[in-house]
């Protein structure tokens, strides 16, 4: 049907632009734009991977580091929160990609539900990676034990991650229960295009959570 061909073409175009955006950011960082916080050298390309050209625009606007490694002017509060939210989004997105790819090859369903299986798998892997993404900068910046760093990472990331996954999961429910009731497979471009949009929805739902966390000193702004 023409509709499916148009959607497939749109999906391929979106994925190509996202890969190009992520590649540009990664190469730009490798060529001398090293991030003051090392974990952001992973986060920014991943942001380009799901936000596409919009993620690249934000990177060029206020995420690109100086070549000399010096600190730039203080960022407005909303940009600091954006970076904090993107930090969460980076771990969640990588976790979701790993989970969905693994589920596709391994197969199997929880209670016969593909959606429930994705929820459990995506949340589990995203949570582990999200806490790890928080742990690394906390451990590097503070003189605390590993155990205390893990606890701090869990406090900083749990609400943020739950908010991100809530937005993504709501979108996935619409995709699988309303628009594509026959199902989408992880070897189809439309599947990953829908995941891109879902991850953007997750960013929108985690931004207010990160704003609250940063405002109350539970999570540090960036």
Higher-confidence residue: 185 or 140?
Answer: 185
Hey, which of 49-53, 100-104, 115-119 has the most confident mean pLDDT? 49-53
Confidence grade of residue 109 (pLDDT, cut at 50, 70, 90): confident
Confidence of residue 221 (pLDDT cuts 50, 70, 90): low
pTM: 0.85
Burial class of residue 174 (count of CB atoms within 10 Å of its CB; 0-12, 13-18, 19+): middle
Closest by CA position to 6, among listed 179, 172, 190:
190
- The ranges assigned to domains in the chain are 78-222
Tell me whether residue 221 is exposed, middle or buried, using C-beta atoms within 10 angstroms of its C-beta: 0 to 12, 13 to 18, 19 or more.
middle
H/E stretch holding 81: helix 77-106
pLDDT of residue 72: 65
- CA-CA distance, 79 to 51, in Å (whole number)? 16
Which residue did the predictor score with more confidence, 131 or 113?
131
| pLDDT over threshold 60, residue 1 | no
Question: pLDDT averaged over the chain?
Answer: 85
Of 152 and 190, the structure prediction assigns the larger pLDDT to: 190
pLDDT bucket at 170, cuts 50 / 70 / 90: very high
Helices 77-106 and 40-51 cross at an angle (nearest 10°) of 70
Q: What is the pLDDT of residues 31-82, one digit of tens each?
A: 988 888 888 888 999 999 999 999 999 999 988 877 766 666 778 888 889 9
pLDDT of residue 69: 62
Of residues 172 and 222, more confidence is placed in 172
Instruction: Quickly state the pLDDT bin for 157 (edges 50, 70, 90).
Output: confident
Residue 26, Cβ neighbours under 10 Å: how many? 17
Task: Specify the pLDDT at position 71.
Answer: 62
Q: At residue 74, what are phi and psi to the nearest 5 degrees?
A: -55, 140
Length of the chain: 222
Looking at residues 145-156, what average pLDDT do you find? Answer: 81
């Amino acid at each position: 049907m023409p509709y499916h061909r148009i959607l497939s073409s749109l999906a391929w175009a979106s994925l190509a632009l996202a890969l190009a955006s992520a590649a540009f950011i990664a190469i730009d960082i490798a060529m001398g734009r090293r991030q003051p916080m090392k974990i952001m050298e992973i986060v920014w390309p991943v942001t380009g991977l799901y936000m596409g050209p919009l993620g690249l625009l934000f990177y060029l606007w206020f995420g690109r580091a100086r070549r000399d490694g010096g600190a730039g002017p203080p960022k407005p509060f909303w940009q600091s929160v954006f970076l904090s939210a993107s930090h969460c989004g980076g771990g969640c997105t990588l976790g979701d990609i790993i989970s969905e790819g693994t589920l596709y090859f391994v197969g199997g369903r929880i209670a016969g539900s593909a959606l429930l299986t994705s929820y459990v798998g995506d949340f589990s892997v995203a949570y582990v990676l999200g806490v790890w993404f928080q742990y690394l900068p906390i451990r590097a910046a503070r003189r605390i034990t590993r155990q205390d760093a893990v606890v701090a990472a869990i406090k900083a990331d749990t609400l943020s991650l739950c908010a991100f996954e809530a937005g993504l999961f709501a979108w996935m429910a619409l995709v699988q229960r309303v628009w594509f009731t026959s199902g989408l497979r992880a070897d189809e471009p439309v599947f990953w295009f829908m995941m891109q949009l879902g991850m953007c929805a997750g960013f929108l739902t985690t931004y207010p959570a990160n704003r609250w966390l940063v405002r109350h000193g539970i999570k540090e702004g960036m």
